[in-house]
Structure 1
Amino acid sequence: MDERLRRLRAANRISAPTVIKALLPTMVVQRGDRLLGRDAALTAGFGPSVTGQSLAVLGVDRGADLAARRAKNGGALTVPGYRTALRVVEHAQKFNLPVVSLINMPGADASPTSERFGQSQAIADLMAATGQLTVPNVVVFLGEGHSGGALAFANANRIIMLDDALFNVASPEAVAAILHGQQTVSAAIDLLPMTAAKLANRGLVDQVIKHQATDLVATLVTAITAQLATLERMGASALIEQRKAKFQQLLATWPVN
């Protein structure tokens, strides 16, 4: 395995629940979508942040050990996970709460069960809701975030990435497979703009944080609160338009070469 992927997928990787606990010391947790049940990979809810500002939070986590990773499906969200996230986003919109998402996931679950229950529609619904939020939303990539499964959370005003994190339409393994072995997994990472540095250079990523920061959790909490403070000055229509402009700017720089 590529050394970068080994580091991203390590058991001791910083997790969304860890950052959420520091950001929201007390939280009302939302459990399940009221139809299919609960997705263990998702931590979602509301509460006052360390600055006193009430927030809605969404965190996707792979799990730290084998048992947790099995329970959380390796971070690949299922339909109830996306529908639960949508519930939180809709409440955030209703009660004027900024939304913070923390992501480390391989993408959405692609099992026949998820497809049968409308996985694509659930992802599309969340993507549409985050894009039309009239409150600020910030996403932080703690590890990997691939495919439409991650993009549903990344339709955000501000994108923060750890310097070794990845964000792309497909995982490095999927890119290598699509190219029928013409590229190694390691080369696939460098082939497309999926690293924090490359995405920041194209204007998609707003802030890159070193994964080796002395107190990484505190650094992330400070970065999130600072980004939210800046966004609070923007009006509802400006927030929507700014999200559109972010991704249109990326399209304007395509293709890669």
Structure 2
Amino acid sequence: MDERLRRLRAADRVSAPTIIKALLPTFVAQHGDRLLGDDSALIAGFGRTTQQQGLTVLGIDRGHDLTTRRQKNGGALTVAGYRTALRVIQHAEKFGLPVVSLINMPGADASPKSERYGQSQAIADMIAAMGQLTVPNMVVFLGEGHSGGALAFANANVVMMLDDSLFNVASPEAVAAILHGQQSVSEAIDLLPMTASELQQRGLVDDVIDHRQATLVDMLCQRIQDTVTELQKQSAIDLIAQREAKFKDFMDWWPQG
């Protein structure tokens, strides 16, 4: 395995539960989509920071050992997970709470069951709802974020990434497989603009954080709060327009890239 991927998938990697615990001492979790049930990979709910700032958080947890990774499907969300997240952000909008997504996932679950219950539609609904939120939203990539599964949470006003994290249309292994072995996994990472620095150069990523900082969790919590405070100064119309412009500008670059 490529050394970068080994680091991203390490058991001691900073995780969504760790950030949520530090960010929201009064966190109240929400469970289930009211139809298919719960998805243990998703941590979703509401809370207040120590400064009494109300937030909605959506966190994807891959697990830290073999047992929890099996339980959480390695962070690959099912239909129930996306529909639960959609339900939660609808409440966030109703009560005027900014949305923060914390991502480390291989992509969406691609099992026959998820396909049977409308995985692609659930992802599309989430992307659309995120784009039309009248409250601020931001996403923090703590590790990997691949495919439409991650994009569902990334239609955001601010995209923040740890400097060694990845965000791409497919995992490096999938890219290498699509190219029929013409590129190694390591070369696949360098082939497409999936690293934080490359995506920042192209205007898709707004903030890149050094993952080696000793106070990483505290610093991330402070950066999240500061970012949300700034975003709250914008009107609902401006927030929607800014999200659209971010991805439109990136797509305008793509043919020339």
TM-score (normalised: structure 2): 0.99
CA offset digits 1:119-166 (Å, max 9, x no partner):
011111111110000100010000000000000000000011000000
**Residues 11 and 256 of structure 1: is their aligned pair in 2 closer, same or farther, counting only changes over 3 Å?**
farther
Equivalent in the alignment of 1:252: 252
Pair 1:173-2:169 in alignment: no
1:102-113 matched pairs, under 5 angstroms: 102-113=102-113
**Residues 164 and 26 of structure 1: is their aligned pair in 2 closer, same or farther, counting only changes over 3 Å?**
same
Q: Shift in Å at residue 174 of structure 1?
A: 0.6
State the distance in 1 between where 2:130 and 2:27 align.
21
Equivalent in the alignment of 1:7: 7
* SS of aligned partner of 1:254: helix
Percent of aligned positions that are identical? 71
Pair 1:192-2:192 in alignment: yes
Equivalent in the alignment of 2:204: 204
Equivalent in the alignment of 1:61: 61
Q: Shift in Å at residue 256 of structure 1?
A: 6.7
State the distance in 1 between where 2:51 and 2:126 align.
27
Equivalent in the alignment of 1:182: 182
Q: Shift in Å at residue 255 of structure 1?
A: 3.5
TM-score (normalised: structure 1): 0.99
Task: State the superposition RMSD in angstroms.
Answer: 0.8
1:1-257 matched pairs, under 5 angstroms: 1-255=1-255, 257=257
CA offset digits 1:170-212 (Å, max 9, x no partner):
0001111111111110000000000000000001101000000
> Is the contact between residue 107 and residue 145 of structure 1 (CA under 8 Å) also seen in structure 2?
yes
Q: Which residue type is aligned with residue 176 of structure 2?
A: A
State the distance in 1 between where 2:226 and 2:51 align.
11
* SS of aligned partner of 1:253: helix
State the distance in 1 between where 2:60 and 2:50 align.
21
* SS of aligned partner of 2:254: coil
State the distance in 2 between where 1:138 and 1:2 align.
29
Q: Which residue type is aligned with residue 229 of structure 1?
A: T
Alignment gaps of 5+ in structure 1 = none
Alignment gaps of 5+ in structure 2 = none
Q: Which residue type is aligned with residue 98 of structure 2?
A: P
State the distance in 2 between where 1:68 and 1:187 align.
30
Q: Shift in Å at residue 252 of structure 1?
A: 1.4
CA offset digits 1:53-83 (Å, max 9, x no partner):
1111000010000000000000000011001
Runs of 4+ in 1 over 3 A off after TM superposition: none
